[in-house]
Amino acid sequence: MTEPPMTVSLITGAADGIGWAMARRFAGGGHRVVLADIDHDKAAARAAALNGGTDGSAGGGHIAVAADVAKEADVVAMVAAVTDRWGRLDVLVNNAGIGDSHLPTLDQGVEAFDRLLRIHLTGGFLAAREAGRIMVRQGCGAIVNVSSIAGLGGLPRRNAYGAAKAGIVAMTRSLACEWADCGIRVNAIAPGYVGTDLVQRLEQAGRIDMDRLKRRIPMGRLGRPEEIAEAAWFLASPQAGYITGSVLSVDGGWHAFADAGDAWSEAGPLASVDPQRR
């Protein structure tokens, strides 16, 4: 019997939150997963957990790579580590990221602004460029970039975050067009608020009001990391073979909602059908 072809996926920011959920989903789907993160110890522990098979991972062989995606040398070494180990790269997920300061614009410094753009936007560019070198040679590959609702609409005080996430959308489209005839698909996900440490830290710091947030989401709840991972899995899969340059909202209806006032209340969805008809 011939072995099924091996599929290798590189996920940045895979030690926690959405990236970790993606690592579990891709490993569970039979991919060899390379977990890249600035926090190498945590990424190594995650890779070990996947290799232990407790998450339904098939075959093991998952590895961790230390990388700060804001540093070009780290990104070049990160992708080289993948090809040294597996000789190929099928999927890149540009997920690594940090939150914005939420300071009023008049108090925002240029260093924090630059750092955020460097991680989200330059990091995504560098990883796509390095992965692209291999995927062009292979004649196939899929790249999934993680944008945000902040890249599609204005969130006050999140200048750098919004600019980076909107830049990711633009770069997704330009790469998709450039590489479409090389067999490489490039897409983005625009998650809404997702229950991860990043959001928990914002809530603890008093930067977001969870009740207010939920009222703005037609589905009335935050997303789960697994729900974002499922969307990435689909976009990376052959089932999405004719999809490139697209931005998939995974946000409980956030981006679709443009009415006045709240989108949801504890008492029930505001714009919904009469309770007697349910």
Ligand X SMILES: NC(=O)c1ccc[n+]([C@@H]2O[C@H](COP(=O)([O-])OP(=O)(O)OC[C@H]3O[C@@H](n4cnc5c(N)ncnc54)[C@H](O)[C@@H]3O)[C@@H](O)[C@H]2O)c1
Q: Which residues are catalytic?
A: 161
Q: Is 124 in the site for ligand X (CB under 6 A)?
A: no
CB of 84 to ligand X, least distance (A): 19
201-240 binders of ligand X (CB under 6 A)? none
Q: Is 126 in the site for ligand X (CB under 6 A)?
A: no
Q: Is 197 in the site for ligand X (CB under 6 A)?
A: yes
Residues with Cβ < 8 Å from 136, sequence gap 6 or more?
A: 179, 182, 184
Among 82, 96, 144, 176, binds ligand X (CB under 6 A): 96
Long-range own/partner contacts, residues 102-109 (CB < 8 A, 24 or more apart) = 102/157, 102/158, 102/202, 102/205, 102/207, 103/157, 104/157, 105/157, 105/159, 108/159, 108/160
Q: Which is nearer to ligand X, 39 or 72 (CB)?
A: 39
Q: Is 159 in the site for ligand X (CB under 6 A)?
A: no
The H-assigned helical ranges of the chain are 17-28, 40-51, 72-86, 110-117, 123-138, 159-179, 197-204, 210-216, 225-236
CB of 150 to ligand X, least distance (A): 7
- The three-class DSSP label of residue 48 is helix
What span, in angstroms and rounded, lies between the C-alpha atoms of 140 and 59?
23
Q: Which is nearer to ligand X, 10 or 38 (CB)?
A: 38
Q: Is 92 in the site for ligand X (CB under 6 A)?
A: no
The total of other beta-carbon atoms located within 10 Å of residue 149's CB is: 21
Among 7, 95, 101, 172, binds ligand X (CB under 6 A): 95
Q: Which is nearer to ligand X, 61 or 124 (CB)?
A: 124
Q: How many CA atoms lie within 13 A of 268 on its CB side?
A: 7
**Part of the chain binding ligand X (CB under 6 A), chosen from 24-32, 133-141, 192-200, 253-261:** 192-200
Nearest residue (beta carbon) to ligand X: 17
Strand partners, 194: 223
Strand partners, 248: 189
What span, in angstroms and rounded, lies between the C-alpha atoms of 36 and 31?
15
- Total residues contacting ligand X by CB under 6 A comes to 28
45-74 binders of ligand X (CB under 6 A)? 67-70
Using CB under 6 A, list all residues that contact ligand X: 12-13, 15-19, 37-39, 67-70, 95-98, 119, 146, 148, 191, 193-194, 196-199
